[in-house]
Amino acid sequence: MSTDIASRVTQSKDISRNKKKLDGAGQFWLVFRYIALALLFVIAALPIYIMVINSVKGITGVSQSAAFIPPTSLNFGAWGPTWEILREPMFRTLVFVLQSSIISAIIGSINGFVFAKWRFKGSTVIFTSFLFGMFIPYQAIMIPLTQFNKWAGIGGTIYVLVFAHIIYGIPICTLIFRNYYQGIPNELIEAARVDGASMTYIYRAIILPLSIPGFVVVLIWQFTSAWNDFLFAIFLTGGSPKLSVATTALNFITGSGNQVYYGNNMTASLIVSIPTLLVYMFLGRYFLRGLLSGSLKG
Amino acid sequence: MAVKSPAKKPIESSKKHIQSPWGGFFFVLPSIIAMAIFVYGMIGWTVKFSLSNRTSAWSKDNSFAGLKNFTGLLEDPEFTHAFSNLVKFTLVFMIGTLISGLIMALLLEKGIKGEGFFRSIYLYPMAISFIAMGTSWRWLMDSAQGEKATGLNLILNKVGLSALENNWYTSEKGSMYAMALPAIWQMSGYVMALFLAGFRGIPDDLREAARVDGASEFKIYRHILFPQLSPTFLTVLIILGHISMKVFDLIYGISGKGYVTKVLAIYMWQVIFDFQNYAKGAAIAVVILVLIAVVVIPYLIYVNKTEEANK
């Protein structure tokens, strides 16, 4: 079993080999591959392209028949009013997402360490039963969770979302850290044990300093999924405007009745997507790693 | 470091003397309790709701109703409609995403100049919320045709395929097939990444050996590479399947609670929020859960077994 599934993807094959003279058929296939790749590129990029070009045409400048055509001059007129509506929910989202991601990462790291390096009798069964929590439809826990929030006194506060993302993030965060720690050689831990180090000391002194990439992966994963989450947000906040977050505020702008204001809607959608897109652009490798960890292998 | 496998045994046994085997247990205990309550306990609670008479927000009648709510669903045309929508969506979404993700992986798998660029472009949809992308897709799949055509219909019009113009997600028959398009678009990159990881986990020697033996490229894929990828195929099917059963934001972001694109998750939400019928909402949630569990639980047991075997 390979230790790191993500580097398998990102470490491209050595293509220098292919540089030797291609025969006719080889050249044909290379051209064919590029044409196919370019076609898929156009399809993949189309929705975000539309969003970007229509966000700089101003509020009234968007004509549907010309929506594929880039603007002749940049007009950020739609950005100001949209940002006014989105600023508060986005700031609120940022604060709650940071809280839940950091706590999730800490819990995931401790759990992952135990399941990878400090197994106890039955730990595999317990780990597997955690994983089930990753697949469940949240609809199946939503009604009791709403009641629990009321009972616990956090109903009507943003902590309903902090709490939900921490709890239901436990499976994936544990899994990512467990896979990550399995890549650390056992010899390292055995050697420390022989020297009389306790497991808690080993975790603090050996494992934690090696965990930074694992933390980055989990933080990015939790950040992206909590930022983009709509289900918990709409269920647990009950659509209350004083608890609106990025996605629910966006849905309020673009939802039924406002569907014709494409300039505004595209701008709002783009603004809400910017934070996760930035993370993806600069830390895409780690995002990919989190994504692949969710596939249970590695 | 010089110690090789024969010497492993004594270390294994010495471990027991140094460390209590239950030490780790106490560190995961808080999470075990949390999972027990918030996953398993709350599922049980939902099941209890689904078997109760709590059919309105006002009367707190939690008495036992048997399977009444479930049999009621079968007679509810709205539910059967949502269910058949979900089946249609799942079929098209799973097959479409599998094929397009596999094509992306096949195109990139051998390594090509610019691979990193293409890979990141194919994968970016995973980083954006369905609610945000819904805006673009709603416009792309606008039903206006002919003179007024926009979005995809406009493209079809311009390239001379105006016969293919259609109502997309608002059409009566094809709504779910159209709705699968944004879903395929969103998830293909993920499937590509899984397949790329699969392809690159296969040792190059296998391919080389077959080539030396004179096997054609097609045969190499058909008889050597694809059989090696069967665990990847299984993973992909499970991931796509459970995402499809739960699909909510993607459809809500494009057509809201619209009737033609209603699936179980949307209907459940409507039943809870608009009709305040807790028992019925819980019953729908249980149906979604069972659909997922029958696939995921055997899979988890299988993964667990292979892990034990690899230990």
Query: What residue spans define the domains of chain A?
Result: 82-293
User: Which residues, 6 or more positions from B122, have their beta carbon under 8 angstroms from its beta carbon?
Assistant: A40, A41, A44, B104, B188, B189, B192
> Does residue A229 surpass a pLDDT of 50?
yes
In whole angstroms, what is the distance from residue B299 CA to residue B237 CA? 11
Which residues in chain B have their CB less than 8 angstroms from residue A6's CB?
Answer: 197
CB nearest A8 (choices: B42, B201, B272): B201
Which residues in chain A have their CB less than 8 angstroms from residue B49's CB?
Answer: 143-144
Q: What is the pLDDT of residue B254?
A: 87
Low-confidence ranges of chain B (pLDDT < 50): 1-18
pLDDT per residue over B276-304, tens digit each? 888 999 999 999 999 999 999 999 988 88
> Does residue A1 surpass a pLDDT of 90?
no
Chains A, B: CB pairs < 8 Å: 313
**A75 CB within 8 Å of a chain B CB:** no
In whole angstroms, what is the distance from residue B308 CA to residue B311 CA? 5
**pTM exceeds 0.95, yes or no:** no
Q: Which residue of A has its CA nearest to B193?
A: A9
Among A40, A193, A235, A283, which would you mutate to test the B interface (most chain B Cβ atoms within 10 Å of its Cβ)?
A: A40
B151–A67 CB contact, under 8 Å: yes
Residue A184, token pair as written in the block: 């650390």
pLDDT per residue over A240-281, tens digit each? 888 889 898 888 888 766 656 778 888 899 999 999 999 999
Question: Contact B169/B175 with Cβ under 8 angstroms?
Answer: yes
CB nearest B124 (choices: A114, A198, A280): A280
Q: What is the pLDDT of residue A208?
A: 93
Which residues in chain A have their CB less than 8 angstroms from residue B301's CB?
Answer: 128
Continuous H helices in chain A? 5-10, 24-55, 79-117, 123-135, 139-152, 159-167, 170-182, 186-194, 199-202, 208-210, 212-228, 231-236, 246-254, 262-293
Q: What is the CATH number of domain A82-293?
A: 1.10.3720.10
Pick from A211, A209, A132: nearest CA to A170: A132
Collapse the DSSP code of A9 into the 3-class scheme (helix H, G, I; strand E, B; otherwise coil) and give the result: helix
Q: What is the pLDDT of residue A27?
A: 85
| Mean pLDDT of the region A115-142 | 91
Structural domains in chain B, CATH included, are: 77-137+165-310 (1.10.3720.10)
B289–A140 CB contact, under 8 Å: yes
A15–B231 CB contact, under 8 Å: no
User: Which residues, 6 or more positions from B138, have their beta carbon under 8 angstroms from its beta carbon?
Assistant: A259, B253, B254, B255
Q: What is the pLDDT of residue A61?
A: 66
pLDDT per residue over A70-94, tens digit each? 787 788 878 888 898 899 999 999 9
Quote ipTM for the complex.
0.88
**A171 CB within 8 Å of a chain B CB:** yes
Q: What is the pLDDT of residue B17?
A: 41
A250–B131 CB contact, under 8 Å: yes
Which residues in chain A have their CB less than 8 angstroms from residue B208's CB?
Answer: none
User: Which residues, 6 or more positions from B282, have their beta carbon under 8 angstroms from its beta carbon?
Assistant: A143, B46, B47, B49, B50, B69
CA distance B173 to chain A (A): 22
In whole angstroms, what is the distance from residue B264 CA to residue B123 CA? 27
